[in-house]
Amino acid sequence: MTVVVLALDALDAGLVEHFDLDAVRLTSSNDLETFAHTQDVPYTPEVWATVATGLPPEDHGVTGGGTSEWDNPVLEALSRISGRFDESTRGTLGKVVRSKTGERERIARTDAESMFDAEGAVVHNWPGVADGRPLQRAWDLMNAVAEGMDRSEFERELFGQCAQQFAWATEMLNHPVAVAGVHVHALDAAGHAYADDEAALRHAYERVGAFVTKIVDALEDGDDLLLLSDHGMHAAFYPPDEGENPATHSFRAYASSTADTCPATVYDVREWVETRASTTRVEGAGREEAVDVPEDHLRELGYLE
Ligand SMILES: [Zn+2]
């Protein structure tokens, strides 16, 4: 039995109500207390690394200039400076460096233990913890949008990535997995692009809601789903945001689960997940027989050395 953790970046508690999005209101739901550390508002890699480790940014180390790493020391120094800027400035700087040198940053990974290090836990992509490339692709996409990529291409890319991430999580329900975590950036990118376009952002929320419903339908007795965000997004059409700058991160993070409780803060998520995972039995675990690979054929094909 599996606990699926969906990291729905920028899913905004206020907009869930505004759009009346039942698909993400599971058995229990609440606002999730989040934090700002190096910026005035919550910053994606800092918060997700905290969610996975249960540690504050000063302890997990994915913070400020430490949110990214470059192979080249000069780029590493520039990255430390760009870490103090917001995501769009940072994206622009990153792009200049990429075009001049052909090198690019990696989202840094914490050395601290996370909930995905436990036996039976798996993770697909998760900023600060596992494979930051999908987040980089999402940031690249946002840069392309800023430069005039048309809507149909943007949405095709965005929801194409989203579909892969949800499909992976759903497939994990067929395997002896205790915890399966995946980060989905779609609503952050859509929130930045459509903060002044209510119909387009509602559509994006409904698309993500439809993916959530598919996973909920695939759960079996004893499985649980926890979905949560790191922050929300201010929107021009959302009445409580009057006077706020649209397309900036809000503190309205959200959590919902198929269980009777939800974590109250981003620091509580790890313990919540581990408590539930420890009460579920991993069926099929311990099946350790090796796969019998026909090595000769693979060597002929050049797949093996
Ligand atoms: Zn975020």
Residue 73 lies in a domain: no
- C-alpha 44 to ligand 1 mean position (Å): 4
Average pLDDT over residues 26-34: 98
Residue 79 lies in a domain: no
Task: Note the pLDDT of residue 153.
Answer: 92
> Quick check: 285 pLDDT over 60?
no
Average pLDDT over residues 119-131: 92
Q: Which residue has the higher pLDDT, 130 or 54?
A: 54
Q: Which residue has the higher pLDDT, 106 or 38?
A: 38
> Quick check: 286 pLDDT over 60?
no
> Quick check: 291 pLDDT over 50?
yes
Task: Quote the mean pLDDT of the chain.
Answer: 87
- C-alpha 252 to ligand 1 mean position (Å): 11
Poorest-confidence range of 52-61, 174-183, 210-219, 281-290? 281-290
d(CA 216, CA 94): 38
> Quick check: 295 pLDDT over 90?
no
- C-alpha 232 to ligand 1 mean position (Å): 8
- C-alpha 253 to ligand 1 mean position (Å): 10
- C-alpha 218 to ligand 1 mean position (Å): 27
Task: Note the pLDDT of residue 27.
Answer: 98
Residue 86 lies in a domain: no
Residue 122 lies in a domain: yes
Average pLDDT over residues 206-219: 98
Q: What's the total number of domains in the chain?
A: 1
- C-alpha 57 to ligand 1 mean position (Å): 15
Burial category of 41 from C-beta neighbours within 10 Å (exposed 0-12, middle 13-18, buried 19 and up):
middle
- C-alpha 85 to ligand 1 mean position (Å): 15
> Quick check: 290 pLDDT over 90?
no
Ion ligand 1 residues within 5 Å by Cβ: 9, 44, 188, 230
> Quick check: 272 pLDDT over 70?
yes
d(CA 20, CA 155): 22
- C-alpha 10 to ligand 1 mean position (Å): 5
d(CA 137, CA 148): 17
- C-alpha 190 to ligand 1 mean position (Å): 12
- C-alpha 47 to ligand 1 mean position (Å): 8
Range of the domain at 274: 3-57+115-284
Residue 220 lies in a domain: yes
Residue 164 lies in a domain: yes
Residue 182 lies in a domain: yes
Describe the crossing of helices 44-53 and 269-278 by its angle, rounded to 10 degrees.
40
Which are the contacts of 23, defined by CB distance < 8 A and separation ≥ 6?
Answer: 206, 209, 210, 212, 213
d(CA 260, CA 257): 7
> Quick check: 114 pLDDT over 70?
yes
Task: Note the pLDDT of residue 132.
Answer: 82
Q: What is the pLDDT of residues 138-190, one digit of tens each?
A: 888 888 888 888 899 999 999 999 999 999 999 999 999 999 999 999 999 99
- CATH number of the domain at 134, please: 3.40.720.10
Residue 70 lies in a domain: no
Poorest-confidence range of 119-133, 203-217, 275-289? 275-289
pLDDT > 90: what percent of the chain?
Answer: 64
> Quick check: 84 pLDDT over 80?
no
Tokens standing for residue 191: 């929130």
**pLDDT band, residue 70 (cuts 50/70/90):** very low
- C-alpha 290 to ligand 1 mean position (Å): 40
Poorest-confidence range of 6-20, 21-35, 283-297? 283-297
- C-alpha 224 to ligand 1 mean position (Å): 23
